[in-house]
Chains A and B, each alone.
Chain A
Amino acid sequence: MGQKIDPDLWSDGPEPHLMGGRLPSGEIVFPMPTGDAAQGVEPVRLSRRGKLWSWTSQGFLPKEPYEGPGSGPGEGPPDFRPFLLGYVELPGEVIVESRIVDCSLEDLHLGMEMEFCVVPFNATHDTYAFRPVAAQESKAA
């Protein structure tokens, strides 16, 4: 395991959760605000399961401040590999933008069951992602 890309982005432990914030109005936001904007906002552990809201692929190497593979020496494999990302709706909470892993573009469809995971991002850091819930497990759940 690498270092977390941001220490407060998800909770530690065997079952990590993405961290959001509950506003005084009750509305849940992601990410948890920082600085003065955090006043009165209660940190909340977001659901580990959600439904795919939209998705796309990243087909070209992003410019800085991107720090993933291909962005420079020491950031992992020298060549950029396209990756998937999307939005996952966490029921009753918030829709979060995330990397999408362990699947290909063709597998994805609206409303698909997704689950939270932590994945290596570059040579030194981990980031969060969502992956499709395996069909078997989905039936059992």
Chain B
Amino acid sequence: MSENVYIIGAGIHPFGRTDGRSGREQGVYAVREALKDAGLDWPDIECAYGGSAAAGNADIMVNELGLTSLPFTNVANGCATGGSALSAAQQAIASGMYDLALATGFDKHPRGAFNAKPADYGLPDWYGQTGMMLTTQFFALKIQRYMQLYGISRTTLGRVAEKAFRNGTLTPHAWRRSPIDLDTIMNAPMINDPLTKYMFCSPSEGGVALILASEKKMKELGADGVKVRSLAVKTRPPDSFEVFQPGVSIKEGGKPTVLASKAAFEKAGLGPEDIEVAQLQDTESGAEIMHMAENGFCKDGEQEEWLANGWSEIGGKLPVNTDGGCLACGEPIGASGLRQVYENVQQLRGRGGERQVPGRDGKGPRFGYSHVYGAPGLSAVAILERA
């Protein structure tokens, strides 16, 4: 990487359910918000990367945004669609080829759990027919074993959800904006033991857009930029345990999140102790707990103490999922990873409003960390720095 890359514009379409507005229209809305934020017009954008999982191709957005002949690459990378779009946009600027690039993601899913087709994942039909190919089961199976091995209690799972909904009440772009108390969370219908209804995120809708610029361009525009300190995208290593696996190796393998986290910290020349705000994939409560350790923020089992003491609350020693995460925002696949980055951009610029993290110097956090995980076993990590 040669050139420094900055995020100078960030836009979001509120997550949740927006009847009468397509996923792509929500993406276009987000792009216009990002342009406004950066003080730019659509023809200023030199290249674009974007996608959705279930709401069509992103390059059609030019119909609404304007036929400026820019190269617009569609990204289809499942849960990492946003992360991959961001990574491609960053490379476009870092290479010196472009000065202004767009990364966008949007989606609109039907209600209820995702249903995947076995053939799309190279799996036999019986795996789906017998009811074992559900993402929710994977997360339950992973946290169930983790709880047994490291002494994580069900109450701790509940506390993660309680925090998410509390943070959601402070977040204009969140879907779930009412608090839910611990008892209600713990006593809600069981979806996949040990996870109740309120411990899972739901597929939803939304759009996010980020505008990336070279340092030269940012200075020229006098824009309020946040530096992309490092980015890492990693697919699964051998012998790992991932979503949609009828058979798992008896050897304990690596984890894509651990690899992406280490690579991002190494590239940034930073460690977990430097991070002041983190957005971690919380498909369900257990995922946030396990990802705290996989990303290096605590040791396995310490989450029990973290949640009991509120260390991951806004105002705690490392606020996690300050906008309520996937639990409060829902998960529009194509937009979800970019939402995390959007939230960090807001936090680093001191625009977090009621949910603003004070930071160690009282001027907001200096370093923000985001982590997305998805099928078929990949993780993307982005570390941002206040300019």
Contacts and interface: CB of A to CB of B under 8 A. Distances in A.
A56 interface: yes
Given A56-B141, A57-B192, A6 B247 contact: no
Contact of A56 (B125, B140, B250): B140
Interface centre among B128, B142, B189, B193 (most CB of A within 10 A): B193
Interface string A33-74: 010000000000000000001111111101111111000000
B190 interface: yes
A87 interface: yes
Looking at chain B, what size class is its interface with the partner chain?
35 or more
Given A60-B113, A83-B131, A110 B246 contact: no
A9 B126 CA distance: 9
B118 interface: yes
B115 A64 contact: yes
Contacts of B142: 54
B131 A30 contact: no
A62 B248 contact: no
B137 interface: yes
Contacts of B117: 65
> How big is chain A's contact interface, by range?
35 or more
Interface in B86-140: 112-113, 115, 117-118, 124-126, 128-134, 137, 140
A74 B149 CA distance: 42
B21 interface: no
B118 A65 contact: yes
Given A31-B247, A95-B250, A105-B193, A58 B131 contact: yes
Specify which of B117, B125, B130, B140 lies most central, judged by the most chain A CB atoms within 10 Å of its CB: B130
A58 B125 CA distance: 19
B381 to A, nearest CB: 26
A115 interface: no
B145 A63 contact: no
A75 B83 CA distance: 41
A20 to B, nearest CB: 7
A116 interface: no
Contacts of B145: 53-54, 110
Contacts of A66: 128-131
Rank and list the top 3 A-B pairs by shortest CB-CB distance, nearest first: A30-B247, A63-B115, A65-B128
Interface of A: 5-6, 9, 20, 27, 29-31, 34, 53-60, 62-68, 83, 85-87, 89, 92-97, 99, 105, 109-110, 121, 125, 127
